Structure 1
Amino acid sequence: MKFYSTKTESLKASLEEAIFNSLPPDNGLYMPESFPKISDEFLADIQNKSFKEIAVEVADTLFEGEITRTELEDLIENAYDFDAPVVEIGTNNYVLELFHGPSMAFKDFGARFMAAVMSHFLIKSEKKINILVATSGDTGGAVAQGFYKVPGIDVTILYPSGKVSEIQEKQLTTLGHNVTAIEIDGTFDDCQQLVKDAFLDSELSSKFNLASANSINIARLIPQSFYFFSAYAQLKKLGKPIVFSVPSGNFGNLSAGLLACKMGLPLQHFVAATNLNNAVPRYLASGTYEPAPSIETISNAMDVGSPSNFVRLKRFFGDDWKSATEKIFGTFFDDEQTREAMRQVYENSDYVMCPHTAVAYLGLKEYSEKIGGDFTGVFLSTAHPAKFIDLVEETLGEKIEIPARLESLLHIEKVSIKMKADFSAFKELLLSRLH
């Protein structure tokens, strides 16, 4: 499998090169050169396959032998000791729970697979790399857990000070060892820009092997497609078209769903549901893309004003706006609408949602009301509600249980390096710390 740059199609990379380079030298994003199809035989029997069996088949189909099937079976067996169950919430409405991994967020699926694949290549090459990652909340915890003590890999995580929940912050600032947390006085967009600038800096790139674990890295995107296939497998018996509502910030999750479709997964439609950081829903409505400074909301992991994966989203449709609107319904909601959805679902179904999940629920509800049709609706639950416990308890007026793995973090002191959103200072820090 070869990957090309979205800016210069003649710039090609192997799977290993795309993973470790993260970004092409022209600052584009890597995209698969082609989309090999899952076999009809596998899809016909997918309802009888486990999550791991599905993950192996998808990865083996896409990688086309760059990692052998036997090696993939071992990598996936070690990466995933958790599942992605679909739970019914009302008639024809289901929630895909993606928070059963170690950091209790959907990012575990990408981070653990990426760590396993990188380790696989590093063992063969005897190299060492430095991971740089920006987080608006959940990516940091998942990457910290996924790469913790992985030989040959050091991790530097940038996060916006005061703009992640306490538990999210503790997940990325309490591990130590090969994980360093940088607390930036700014927004997620500032953190993301610092990471991008580091990759494009010739001095840093020549001295250190730098790689990203954000969804700009194709190895984060690919494994997120696994759970779209898995959800389809769980719901296939219903015999109805399936619509996925995806809470969206940097648009890696939605891009992964589109990748699954390109590989042959028969999905009817997607809902791109955002908070007030709504550049993509506005693009879908008007055909004009106007990124803007990020706005702080209660669904903080989606506070992305200029989503990196927008260029990938467009490329799946040949950069044709009309084609994108035929597959994606865009919508957005404010904080009060989000809180009201959390309350309604709890009162009606006794189901507790995090604010990001609530945005996805609202998106599916609006799609059903405006578009209609007889379909099975699935909204993605991207994080355990206890990760936002203060907000959730205040909204619901109820105490909720904190899983032991999260509760224990609250008693550990955070360790972070504070700095302004200044690239020269960030570069100096990297030059003094990386090796």
Structure 2
Amino acid sequence: MKALSTRGIAPPVAISQAIAAGLAPDGGLYMPEHWPTFSPADFAGDETLAAVGKRLLAPFFADDAIGERLDAICDDAFAVTPPLRRFGTGDDFVLELFHGPTAAFKDYGAAFLAGCLGALPRGEVPLTIVVATSGDTGAAVGAAFHRKPGFRVAILYPDGRVSPRQAHQLGCFGDNVRAFRVDGSFDDCQRLVKSALSDAEFRSEVPLGSANSISLGRLLPQMTYYAHASLMHWRKHATTLNFVVPTGNLGNGLACVLARRMGLPIGEIVLASNANAVLPDFFAGGDYTPGPSIATLANAMDVGAPNNFERLQWLYPDAGGLRALLSADAVDDATIRATIVDAWQRQGEAICPHTACAVHVLQRRRAAGASGDWVAVSTAHPAKFPEVVEPLIGQAIALPPALAAMLERPSHAQALADDGEALRDLLRHG
């Protein structure tokens, strides 16, 4: 299968080429040229996340260089099947995506991308993976590529705008993984990365790859856990599952949309944003107007210009039609706090600020009369945000073993100005 640029100027390329490049030469984002369709019966006998992933993703890689390694890549990236469990009483569920090595949902996509890139032939010069992070992506990418021969990783994050534990994770790898704390916002980090990736002359000097959600190697695997959760629910209850997805850069929400597009038994999809309300404003009928990001308690969603909206518009160019397929709500910091307290007091559930956005939006839907089975997607372990969660629930949260091990390592991040040439110099000499 070929991949096309959303801007329509760059020529079609193989899926593996699109994954290796990250960004298309015309500045667009790659998308598969067509979407296979499935029915639940096509996944008969597939119980684990890895088994569902192999079947779901096989059409994209059937004639590709990565195809022969796809099963092994899926076995590695999808080794942990995320729990789908009831949340309180009634028909509400939570999908826990935080059981990977860095306690965030992005572990799935990062591990799959690392497997794909590792399956492709490389020259003698290492491939530098350059990634912007608002909190969780960078650690997942660092863990996926740490000590992998032939790769270097440069993680850019906004100084002072990630949680202390997130910052420690970003800088704790060493070896072939470096962290840079940028004097700016996540949007500034994202702009720096896209500028380097779109500089053909620089890329001829320093081979680059992307691990942000602009990469197809991150986007495609994220469809798998939505496919798996909806299939397991369908088999047990014979009903579609409706999702509330916390979203910042829109990759996770888009993956759910794509899984539904491919025929998985998914009903309504609602995006849960924090105070960065560019998506809720658009889906409420306003113009799409990216702006400066706002710092919030749900920092991994502090995105003022969601990259993947370009993909969504490419798939659904009619704004009215797009609004009929999706909706979005914003949640402010005061409501995030109140939702964390409520979940703890009512149900004994400790949830992270991002999960709290999804839980509150689900509560709004229920209050407005929504019926059916709904799931709030839980994207990170609450132990990553002790400064927020622990004072609200009045007790410490036990650390997952993998996160505890990371926090025991020394951590270092280098200061970086919001300057594209400064980044290029560091990448040249790293």
Q: Could you say which residue in structure 2 is the equivalent of 1:17?
A: 17
The alignment partner of 1:265 has SS state of coil
Does residue 105 of the first structure (1) align with residue 70 of the second (2)?
A: no
Give the Å deviation of 1:38: 2.5
Change (3 A) 1:358 1:377: same
Q: 2:412 aligns with which of 399, 415, 419?
A: 415
Change (3 A) 1:372 1:244: same
Q: Could you say which residue in structure 2 is the equivalent of 1:336?
A: 334
After the TM superposition, which of the residue ranges 287-296 and 230-239 deviates more from structure 2?
230-239
After the TM superposition, which of the residue ranges 53-62 and 201-210 deviates more from structure 2?
201-210
Q: Could you say which residue in structure 2 is the equivalent of 1:184?
A: 182
Give the Å deviation of 1:278: 0.9
- Matched residue count: 428
Per-residue CA deviations over 1:173-209 (Å, capped at 9, x if unaligned) read: 1111110111101110010000001012233111121
Q: Could you say which residue in structure 1 is the equivalent of 2:51?
A: 53
Aligned residues of 2:169 and 2:406 also touching (Cα < 8 A)? yes
The alignment partner of 1:158 has SS state of strand
Q: Could you say which residue in structure 2 is the equivalent of 1:245?
A: 244
**How many angstroms apart in 2 are the aligned matches of 1:80 and 1:127?**
29
Percent same amino acid among aligned pairs?
A: 38
Q: TM-score, normalization: structure 2?
A: 0.95
Q: Could you say which residue in structure 2 is the equivalent of 1:217?
A: 215
Does residue 260 of the first structure (1) align with residue 259 of the second (2)?
A: yes
Does residue 26 of the first structure (1) align with residue 33 of the second (2)?
A: no
Q: Could you say which residue in structure 1 is the equivalent of 2:113?
A: 114
Aligned residues of 2:40 and 2:264 also touching (Cα < 8 A)? no
Give the RMSD, CA atoms, in angstroms. 1.7
Per-residue CA deviations over 1:273-308 (Å, capped at 9, x if unaligned) read: 100101011011114101110000000000000010
Matches within 5 A, 1:64-75: 64-67=62-65, 71-75=69-73
Large movers: runs of 4+ above 6 Å: none
Aligned residues of 1:137 and 1:300 also touching (Cα < 8 A)? yes
The alignment partner of 1:351 has SS state of coil
Give the Å deviation of 1:27: 0.6
**One-letter code aligned to 2:399:** I
Give the Å deviation of 1:17: 1.1
Aligned residues of 1:287 and 1:321 also touching (Cα < 8 A)? no
Change (3 A) 1:211 1:397: same
**How many angstroms apart in 1 are the aligned matches of 2:260 and 2:125?**
35
**How many angstroms apart in 2 are the aligned matches of 1:69 and 1:432?**
34
**How many angstroms apart in 2 are the aligned matches of 1:76 and 1:302?**
27
Give unpaired runs (5+ residues) of structure 1.
none
**One-letter code aligned to 2:41:** E
After the TM superposition, which of the residue ranges 424-433 and 208-217 deviates more from structure 2?
424-433
Q: Could you say which residue in structure 1 is the equivalent of 2:387?
A: 390
**How many angstroms apart in 2 are the aligned matches of 1:282 and 1:73?**
41
Does residue 347 of the first structure (1) align with residue 338 of the second (2)?
A: no
Per-residue CA deviations over 1:233-275 (Å, capped at 9, x if unaligned) read: 2211212232100001000001111111221113111111100
After the TM superposition, which of the residue ranges 62-71 and 418-427 deviates more from structure 2?
62-71
**How many angstroms apart in 1 are the aligned matches of 2:350 and 2:31?**
36
Give the Å deviation of 1:347: 1.2
**One-letter code aligned to 1:107:** K
The alignment partner of 1:121 has SS state of coil
**How many angstroms apart in 2 are the aligned matches of 1:232 and 1:214?**
26
Does residue 5 of the first structure (1) align with residue 5 of the second (2)?
A: yes
Change (3 A) 1:71 1:429: closer
Does residue 306 of the first structure (1) align with residue 283 of the second (2)?
A: no
Give the Å deviation of 1:10: 5.9
**One-letter code aligned to 2:261:** K
Per-residue CA deviations over 1:10-42 (Å, capped at 9, x if unaligned) read: 631111210111111111111111001135631
Q: Could you say which residue in structure 1 is the equivalent of 2:281?
A: 282
Q: Could you say which residue in structure 2 is the equivalent of 1:142?
A: 140
Q: 2:324 aligns with which of 326, 347, 351?
A: 326
The alignment partner of 2:245 has SS state of strand
Aligned residues of 1:270 and 1:328 also touching (Cα < 8 A)? yes
Change (3 A) 1:405 1:68: closer
**How many angstroms apart in 2 are the aligned matches of 1:417 and 1:397?**
35
**How many angstroms apart in 1 are the aligned matches of 2:182 and 2:326?**
34
Q: Could you say which residue in structure 2 is the equivalent of 1:38?
A: 38
**How many angstroms apart in 2 are the aligned matches of 1:33 and 1:51?**
25
Give the Å deviation of 1:67: 4.9
Per-residue CA deviations over 1:73-101 (Å, capped at 9, x if unaligned) read: 12222333322110101211000000011
Give unpaired runs (5+ residues) of structure 2.
none
**One-letter code aligned to 1:161:** D
After the TM superposition, which of the residue ranges 31-40 and 358-367 deviates more from structure 2?
31-40
Q: Could you say which residue in structure 2 is the equivalent of 1:271?
A: 270
After the TM superposition, which of the residue ranges 217-226 and 65-74 deviates more from structure 2?
65-74
Aligned residues of 1:329 and 1:367 also touching (Cα < 8 A)? no
**How many angstroms apart in 1 are the aligned matches of 2:79 and 2:47?**
16
Aligned residues of 2:155 and 2:170 also touching (Cα < 8 A)? yes
Aligned residues of 1:246 and 1:253 also touching (Cα < 8 A)? yes
Change (3 A) 1:243 1:425: same
Give the Å deviation of 1:426: 1.5
Does residue 296 of the first structure (1) align with residue 269 of the second (2)?
A: no
Q: Could you say which residue in structure 2 is the equivalent of 1:77?
A: 75
